[in-house]
Amino acid sequence: MLQTVVEIVERYDAECVPDAYKSNKVAYIKNGSISKNCTKLLKVDKLMKAPIYIYYQLDNYYQNHRRYVKSRSDKQLLDGLQNNDTSSCKPEESNGGLPVVPCGLVAWSLFNDSYIFTRGAVPLKVNRKNIAWKSDRDHKFGKRVYPFNFQNGSLIGGGKLDPHIPLSDQEDLIVWMRTAALPSFRKLYGRIEEDLHPSDLITVNLTNNYNTYSFGGAKKLVLSTSSWLGGKNDFLGVFYIFVGSSCIFISLVFLLLHLKDSRPCGDATFSYWNRKNVSL
């Protein structure tokens, strides 16, 4: 029997802004002296069987913009400073005359909100290993490539990277670098590997660091189970219904046209070998 996918979706970017900054959210997010800590309560309505996937969802965020997508160097991600050509990474290819690793706008805008979960007084362990594709870890990000001169400029885009950990092990970055095709998307943050039961209250202590206020974006926290078909995907179902309905409609149109002005069946007397002026 197909397991029902259970989801909890909670938007937090608006509620986590202090009252004094409700009218100027950009000033709040850019002010480093203001605490970005925020607490949200999530109530579990249905049994959620492990593993429970944790996603962050961004809305109105165009990772598919041509200039944004091209601002990266896949060769540098694999080879590091051995690759000197970072012209494709503009405007984040260097800082202070030194190259940036990883370079480009995609890496520079790395998502940097964080989440800590507790059930009652008991912390919920979040497994953050193997959240990126194995093919990406093994073949697209170098095992001997380390962050260098990253986020050292005057304008900080997003999260920072540990300069002592190779890119192949920085899975937050690997997940983020696989850019989304649509302006609303989810990216995997981690997994809770124990069941959540109905009426459980989950306390989420989060840091609201990432700036989506400048462009009217939205941030949501998603907890979701999965089935053998994967997670919940309304788009796929709507798309199938639309295509099927379109095919039925077109079929009815052709049927009506056929009934209204149908072509006569073929008559063998009109074949060329039956014509008087044609000799075999």
CB 211 within 8 A of CB 121: no
Q: What local confidence, expressed as pLDDT, does residue 85 receive?
A: 83
Residues 35-45: what's their mean pLDDT? 95
pLDDT digits (tens, 9 = 90+) for 238-250: 888 999 999 999 9
pLDDT digits (tens, 9 = 90+) for 74-118: 999 999 988 888 889 989 998 888 999 999 999 999 999 999 999
pLDDT digits (tens, 9 = 90+) for 19-29: 999 999 999 99
DSSP 265: P
Q: What local confidence, expressed as pLDDT, does residue 156 receive?
A: 82
Mean pLDDT of the chain: 90
Q: What local confidence, expressed as pLDDT, does residue 272 receive?
A: 64
- Going by pLDDT thresholds of 50, 70 and 90, the confidence category of residue 2 is very low
CB 221 within 8 A of CB 40: yes
Q: What local confidence, expressed as pLDDT, does residue 1 receive?
A: 37
**Can you give the residue ranges of every domain in the chain?**
7-230, 232-262
CA pair distance 226, 5, nearest whole angstrom? 5
Of 38 and 260, the one with more pLDDT: 38
Q: Please check the confidence at residue 233 and state whether its pLDDT lies above 70.
A: no
pLDDT digits (tens, 9 = 90+) for 105-157: 999 999 999 999 999 889 999 999 999 999 999 999 999 999 999 998 778 88
Q: What local confidence, expressed as pLDDT, does residue 237 receive?
A: 78
Residues 201-212: what's their mean pLDDT? 96
Residues 235-262: what's their mean pLDDT? 88
CA pair distance 62, 68, nearest whole angstrom? 8
Other C-beta atoms lying within 10 Å of the C-beta of residue 68: 16
**Collapsed DSSP state (helix, strand, coil) of residue 24:** coil
CB 209 within 8 A of CB 196: no
How would you list the strands of the sheet with 185-192, edge to edge? 7-11, 218-224, 52-59, 185-192, 126-127
Of 231 and 218, the one with more pLDDT: 218
